[in-house]
């Protein structure tokens, strides 16, 4: 029996970073294979954009495009140029030796000379049934104010932000540009955010804070109408009418399956060299929200997907595997071949 061939490049993930990497790799004749994952709870192929309705800030779509439509188009473009897609999760990896090994959820292990990890990050939700339903249906619940806050649906309304860290402060301040009022809901009596960010929020005329308060229900059928709030000290409950809810209690990178195979940050994002996608293992690259706890935008994820594909392509060429790089210039920048084989520091 003939042994399965070793892939030149395998991509793990199915968000903007993964599909952009696949498009570049496919056009470079590297015949990429993408493991796009499976539906698990609120997470599935396409990542967080599958919970986003109209996207107005992705270049090329002046009339806006929904998150699912954007992911469908990116995937179709990657497949059009020859990308192969496997609808399975990768449950474990072995990056200890070349070629690398990926273990899918059901099928046989796959080996590859280069890997791009673009598994993204998952927003942390309160965990209420109607919260998740309205987030999926575009009913006024979101985990990203910068992504969704400027949409017409939210303008001129009272908007709520749940959280007490710097991210929640940033979301609240951003929303003041569009909302009639922003209500920050925090379960404690003081923010954990940095002093400067907290002071900006507390001093803003459009912001008020509900201290010692948690959201115990999200009300509304087709779209959010109000929140059920519970006082953590007295237990008293009341309703707060709102036109939108932004949950800003953090994100968790989807890197658990790596199990120590790559160096991670203290918050479990994959470590990469500055302005590069190289990881601690030569030949393994990372892109998208799995490396980004700052921007977390579709366009930045797509950009790093492009970078990862180009770096993987050059790494393969440097080692005499696959086609030569198809770049805008015939000669790679001085030192690039040596640089791409060094681990991130």
Residue pLDDT tens, the chain, 345 long: 456 789 999 999 999 999 999 999 999 999 999 999 987 766 778 888 887 777 888 999 998 898 889 999 999 999 999 999 999 999 999 999 999 999 999 999 999 999 999 999 988 899 999 998 998 888 999 998 988 898 898 999 999 999 999 989 999 999 999 999 999 999 999 999 999 999 999 999 999 999 999 999 999 999 999 999 999 999 999 999 999 999 999 889 999 999 999 999 999 999 999 889 999 999 999 999 999 988 889 999 999 999 999 999 999 999 998 654 433 333 333 233 333 333 332
DSSP notation for 219-264: E-SSS--EEEEEETTT--EEEEE-SEEEE-S-EEES-GGGTTSS-B
Angle at 286 between CA 116 and CA 88, to 5 degrees: 45
Looking up tokens 């601690």 gives 280
Domain boundary among 192, 220, 247: 247
- Determine contact, residues 213/229, Cβ cutoff 8 Å: yes
Q: Collapse the DSSP code of 247 into the 3-class scheme (helix H, G, I; strand E, B; otherwise coil) and give the result.
A: strand
Residue whose C-alpha is closest to residue 220's, from 239, 238, 234, 205: 239
Cβ pair 277, 311 in contact under 8 A: yes
Predicted pLDDT of residue 12: 98
b/e string for 123-140 if b means 16 or more Cβ within 10 A? bebbebebbbebbeebbb
pTM: 0.80
Check whether residue 167 and residue 203 sit in a common domain. Answer: yes
End-to-end CA distance of the chain: 42
C-alpha–C-alpha distance, residues 231 and 212, integer Å: 6
Q: Which domain holds residue 131?
A: 125-247
Residue 262: inside a domain, yes or no? yes
Of these residues, 54, 148, 289, 292, which one is catalytic?
148
Domain membership flag for residue 181? yes
Q: Looking at the structure, do residues 328 and 259 belong to the same domain, yes or no? A: yes
Number of domains in the chain: 2
pLDDT at 39: 77
Helices 166-175 and 195-202, packing angle to 10 deg: 30
CATH number at residue 300: 3.50.50.60
Q: Please check whether residues 109 and 135 belong to one and the same domain.
A: no
Residue with tokens 């673009």: 118
* pLDDT for 324: 42
Residues 147 and 132 in one domain: yes
Give yes or no: residues 141 and 212 share one domain. yes
Domain boundary among 225, 247, 269: 247
Instruction: Please indicate, yes or no, whether residues 235 and 320 belong to a single structural domain of this protein.
Output: no
DSSP state of 290: G
Claim to verify: residue 168 and residue 88 sit in the same structural domain: no
Q: What phi and psi, each to the nearest 5 degrees, are found at residue 288? A: 80, -155
Identify whether residues 221 and 289 lie together within a single domain: no
Report how far residue 215's alpha carbon sits from residue 229's, in angstroms, rounded to the nearest whole number. 5
For residue 345, being part of any structural domain is answered with: no
Residue 144 appears among annotated catalytic residues: yes
Nearest to 34 by CA among 122, 95, 94, 110: 110
Looking at the fold, whether 103 and 75 belong to one and the same domain comes out as yes
Asked whether 186 and 208 are in contact (CB, 8 A), the reply is no
How far, in Å, CA of 273 to CA of 344, rounded? 5
d(CA 31, CA 260): 28
C-alpha count within 13 angstroms, C-beta hemisphere, residue 259:
10
Place of tokens 């658990």: 256
- The DSSP bridge pattern shows strands 84-86 and 65-66 to be unpaired
Six token digits for residue 163:
């959280």
Classify residue 320: in a domain, yes or no.
Answer: yes
pLDDT (0 to 100) of residue 343: 34
Within a domain: 20? yes
148 given a catalytic annotation: yes
How far is residue 52's CA from residue 143's CA, in Å, rounded to a whole number? 9
54, 144, 289, 292: which is the annotated catalytic residue? 144
Same domain, residue pair 160 and 235: yes
Domain boundary among 221, 247, 273: 247
Domain membership flag for residue 153: yes
Judge if 256 and 115 occupy the same domain: yes
- What is the pLDDT, as a whole number, of residue 251? 87
56 occurs within a structural domain: yes
DSSP category for residue 194: -
Domain annotation covers residue 116: yes
Do 115 and 261 belong together in one domain? yes
């Amino acid at each position: 029996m003939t042994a399965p061939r070793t892939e030149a490049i395998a991509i793990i993930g199915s968000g903007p970073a993964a599909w952009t990497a696949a498009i570049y790799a496919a056009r470079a004749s590297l015949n990429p294979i993408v493991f796009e994952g499976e539906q698990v709870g609120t997470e599935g192929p396409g990542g967080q954009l599958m919970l986003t309705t109209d996207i107005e800030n992705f270049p090329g779509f002046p009339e806006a495009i929904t998150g699912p439509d954007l992911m469908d188009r990116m995937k179709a473009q990657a497949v059009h140029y020859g990308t192969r897609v496997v609808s399975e999760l990768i449950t474990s990896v072995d990056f200890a030796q070349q070629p690398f090994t990926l273990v899918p959820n059901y099928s046989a292990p796959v080996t590859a000379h280069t890997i791009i990890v673009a598994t993204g990050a998952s927003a942390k939700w309160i965990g209420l049934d109607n919260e998740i339903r309205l987030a999926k249906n575009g009913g006024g619940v979101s985990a990203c104010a910068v992504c969704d806050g400027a949409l017409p649906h939210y303008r001129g309304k009272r908007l709520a932000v749940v959280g007490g860290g710097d991210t929640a402060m940033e979301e609240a301040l951003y929303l003041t540009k569009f909302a009639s009022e922003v209500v920050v809901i925090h379960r404690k009596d003081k923010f954990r955010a940095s002093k400067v960010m907290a002071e900006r929020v507390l001093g803003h005329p459009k912001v008020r804070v509900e201290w010692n308060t948690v959201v115990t229900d999200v009300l509304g059928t087709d779209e959010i109408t109000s929140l059920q709030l519970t006082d953590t000290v007295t237990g008293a409950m009341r309703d707060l009418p709102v036109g939108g809810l932004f949950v800003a209690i953090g994100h968790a990178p989807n890197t658990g399956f790596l199990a120590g195979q790559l160096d991670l940050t203290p918050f479990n994002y994959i470590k990469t060299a500055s302005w590069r996608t190289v990881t601690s293992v030569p030949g393994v690259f990372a892109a998208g929200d799995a490396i980004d706890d700052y921007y977390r935008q579709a366009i930045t994820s797509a950009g790093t997907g492009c970078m990862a594909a180009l770096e993987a392509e050059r790494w393969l060429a440097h080692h005499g595997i696959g086609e030569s790089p198809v770049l805008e210039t015939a000669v790679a920048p001085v030192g690039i071949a040596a640089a791409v084989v060094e681990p991130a520091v």
